[in-house]
Structure 1
């Protein structure tokens, strides 16, 4: 399966490329008053290579789920391009084609399923919409139930309310795989599960990735889960990407103060390593009127004048492929901790 994926468009070409994605939501405003805009996603760019898992982390309201819904075309974007395996979504690639190639598993396992359809009917629904016969679609549904660890003879004719949360999420994963997608977006797909069930679903996802040659975009608040399942991690803050790189590099040497604070806030099982001082204080600024310059400067202990006036661009940090949008890693940015600017030979 992986060989087939590499043959389509070339192995070096990213499976998903996002360029300058923007989504602003209008709020308030009367008849004559000017409407204000919530800057939910503001100039987000990243790539996802074939066969890898990219994790997206950040506080609530940073734009993670909005980004996922924009990729799935569940809401219109204000600006930006989405390129799937070399095809521009909306022009060279239709929405119907995108739905076959990209699927999503949502956080709420119960709300994601039609309560009037049996589990077998829910999984078979998508393939039938795309032209598969009823008998073939039901056979596929039962095969996928087996793949996700649910016995078809037990679960196929049950309704969503008759199974547990972990079992419902397995059904949603089977439903996402029914169209044989190449990319699966997992939006907080294990956050509502208890830890034992969460571990089972995570291991299932990794097994399915190997078996079907899948690529994952994994969104979660749980940093331990992200490190376990991801190859690279993308950190978002107030609608923007502030750090991006291999998961081990970001965990071992976080370059952005916000990433450092997120990692410092992780609970430790060792009582001698308890967090006694809050690594980050205050609430995120209002996305309707975000701060100028670096959006994190109002909560950053390293803030200087350049942070308030100039927007930092993603720049290489300590290792290749590890980037951070922080003036402290940009050579010659004007920050006292920034490396010296390189001089031309």
Structure 2
């Protein structure tokens, strides 16, 4: 594995800072009609401390994966700043250097691998591009296969279609680690796996994080997985961050109704805790025409008239815990900010 980048700002400086990250898409809903704006990611801000795991959760379409692709510069952002260890990406930190320091594991383990390359070639490709000699890159690939629990003599010469989904995801993790990153973004990296295999991969990630001193940004819709692996959880709804806080604090006392509904909707094996009515009803509104004021007010059982007029902003509700809800934190909004 390539040597990790030096720690520039010390442990107190966040490894990743995101400020006002925005991505809007233009879409035509009718032939010959003027295009409308899809507010996929709408001004989100957060930070990730060195060595922690931040989970990102929300319903499909809330902007989780789009945000991850913006962080990796797989698509251009419309607005906002991204700082990596205090350096502004694209300014003081060139994109080529960011590629070494931040890597991503995608949801589709098969589509992430080149079907024409062997497993060894796939893992060795990145280091080779960054100047590592071929023999050293292949030795590195075999070492990483061992680290993720796969025998090199068995798997190095195979092709992606010859192995299982869980094994492919282990290979994608090895490929992400080949450049020696400090931050790994995992976008639904275990959602397509069987539960037994999912548990193995999660335990592998925990071990690798401890062994290599990694930082994770973990995206998932599975709250049980989030609670197991995360230190803090960031909750997104319709392109915005509605709550972020330590996992146990957020679990014990969620301050946003959307977070509370997500936790209440989790399946349980306890016969005394059956869910008789849906904690949250209806589908999320369209990001093309989001509701005024609080975007969740059309589905919120606690909504008042002010919720349709005033846009809430994140406010402190506890130690390192923020939420954006006018009912939970009166006075935490500003009028005229409805998207």
TM-score by length of 2: 0.95
**Closer, same or farther in 2 for the Cα pair 1:154/1:333, shift >3 Å?**
closer
Q: Which residue of 1 aligns with 2:39?
A: 39
Per the TM alignment, residue 34 of structure 1 is displaced from its structure 2 partner at its CA by 2.7
Superposition map of 1:1-345 within 5 A: 7-28=7-28, 33-317=33-317, 319-332=318-331
Secondary structure of 1:281's aligned partner = coil
1:267-325 deviation per Cα after TM superposition (whole angstroms, max 9, x unaligned): 001112111100001110010000000000000011111110011000111x2111100
Of 30-39 and 177-186, the range deviating more from structure 2: 30-39
* Whole-Å separation in 2 of the counterparts to 1:111 and 1:32: 35
TM-score by length of 1: 0.93
Answer yes or no: is the 8 Å Cα contact 1:23–1:40 preserved in 2.
yes
Q: Structure 2: which 5+ residue stretches go unaligned?
A: 334-339
Per the TM alignment, residue 33 of structure 1 is displaced from its structure 2 partner at its CA by 4.0
Per the TM alignment, residue 35 of structure 1 is displaced from its structure 2 partner at its CA by 1.5
**Closer, same or farther in 2 for the Cα pair 1:333/1:91, shift >3 Å?**
closer
* Whole-Å separation in 1 of the counterparts to 2:5 and 2:30: 51
Q: Which residue of 1 aligns with 2:337?
A: none
1:60-88 deviation per Cα after TM superposition (whole angstroms, max 9, x unaligned): 00000000000000000110000000010
CA RMSD of aligned residues (A): 1.4
Secondary structure of 1:47's aligned partner = strand
Secondary structure of 1:73's aligned partner = coil
Secondary structure of 2:216's aligned partner = strand
Answer yes or no: is the 8 Å Cα contact 1:188–1:218 preserved in 2.
yes
* Whole-Å separation in 1 of the counterparts to 2:177 and 2:94: 20
**What is the aligned length?**
330
**Closer, same or farther in 2 for the Cα pair 1:333/1:97, shift >3 Å?**
closer
